[in-house]
Amino acid sequence: MTALVTGGAGFIGSNLVDALLAQGERVAVVDDLSTGRRENLDGALAAGAVLHELDVTDAAALRTLMEAERPQVVFHLAAQIDVRRSVEDPVADARINVEGTINVLAAAHAAGVRRVVYSATGGAVYGEAEQVPTPEDAPERPLAPYGQSKLAGEGYCGLFARLHGLSTIALRYANVYGPRQDPLGEGGVIAIFCGCVAEGRTPTIFGDGEQTRDFVYVGDVVAANLAAAASTLTGSYNVGTGVETSVLELVETLDALELGPPLAPCHADERAGEVRRSCLDATRLRDALGWSAATSLADGLRQTVAAIVPAGPC
């Protein structure tokens, strides 16, 4: 089988590429390397993966490539993921996340792709949810253009399924973390904090630190993608642990692991548009595919620090 991974040089994408190669699949990667890193693919390229430096907003080039590669499955992870950037420039955010997704879906349809697995977002779509952990049927109330654009991408997945019969599924991720993570997006707090642990730097907590997130390990997210690709499920499914962890609890967990000097965070003003509580109910995906997050936060943090995550400013 040939699989095509957009955003395959990024954090989640490169981990997915490695897993596909381990299964014996032929893998083509599409990435413009604006945020993805070629070094994330060093092992994959040596193992036979092919990298195409291409922007998903280039519809004609993407369609030509898709028709040449003829993948059976497309995993669409290429996206603008920085919430703050989306607030500053919502047009650019929409160009990548909405127009780019339309281009991927149109190219996949034209090339006769069997299945498209779309990487969506959980917390950024639900906003300040009344029910936590939050199920898929909760109201969708994004607080930033990023969440709105990713939700629009889900809508186009459904449209292409209805209009063209293209098999699609959207996976709404909680806050993904793990090796190769970039400190962008809401999940980047772990990349930043782990970098601070590894380098003995002081992290900054925005607000009081009581805001919560559902931290899910990248290996578990990869497993969800593989299971979704092999299925015929349609619609949107949460991918998370169902466990709330506050930023202060995250600091405590890292300190308890004794992976470096104790963290002594400083505090700064909370950031506009940030959700107070975010945690996903992934029961629907568990019941449909038998998937559930298998990696504890402590184990995931150990693996993340051991991989020396590139650190952003604390």
Q: Model confidence over 122-155: pLDDT tens digits? A: 989 999 999 999 999 999 999 999 999 999 999 9
| pLDDT tens-place string over residues 16-33 | 999 999 999 999 999 999
Region 55-82: what's the mean pLDDT?
97
pLDDT of amino acid 307: 83
pLDDT of amino acid 123: 85
- Two tokens, residue 18: 């490695």
| pLDDT tens-place string over residues 191-223 | 888 888 877 888 889 889 999 999 999 999 999
pLDDT of amino acid 309: 40
The number of C-alpha atoms within 13 Å of 63 and in the hemisphere containing its C-beta is: 10
Q: How far is CA 105 from the centre of its chain?
A: 18
Which domains can be identified in the chain, with CATH numbers?
2-175+216-239 (3.40.50.720), 182-213+243-282+294-306 (3.90.25.10)
Task: Quote the percentage of the chain above a pLDDT of 90.
Answer: 80
pLDDT of amino acid 182: 73
Q: What are the Cα distances from residue 2, in Å, to 26, 29, 66?
A: 5, 11, 11
Region 228-236: what's the mean pLDDT?
97
Question: Is 126 among the residues known to form the active site?
Answer: no
pLDDT of amino acid 187: 55
pLDDT of amino acid 288: 97
- 176 within 8 A of 187, measured Cβ to Cβ: yes
pLDDT of amino acid 200: 81
Burial of residue 148 (number of CB atoms within 10 Å: 0-12, 13-18, 19+): buried
pLDDT of amino acid 196: 83
> Which of 118, 126, 146, 237 is an active site residue?
146
Residue 199 main-chain phi, psi, to 5 deg:
-110, 5
pLDDT of amino acid 312: 47
pLDDT of amino acid 120: 98
pLDDT of amino acid 273: 66
Residue 311, pLDDT > 50, answer: no
Kindly report the average pLDDT of the chain as a whole number. 93
Residue 310, pLDDT > 70, answer: no
DSSP 40: G
pLDDT of amino acid 68: 97
Q: 187 vs 224, which has greater pLDDT? A: 224
Confidence band of 249 (pLDDT split at 50, 70, 90): very high
| pLDDT tens-place string over residues 258-285 | 887 888 889 998 876 678 899 999 999 9
pLDDT of amino acid 308: 56
pLDDT of amino acid 102: 98
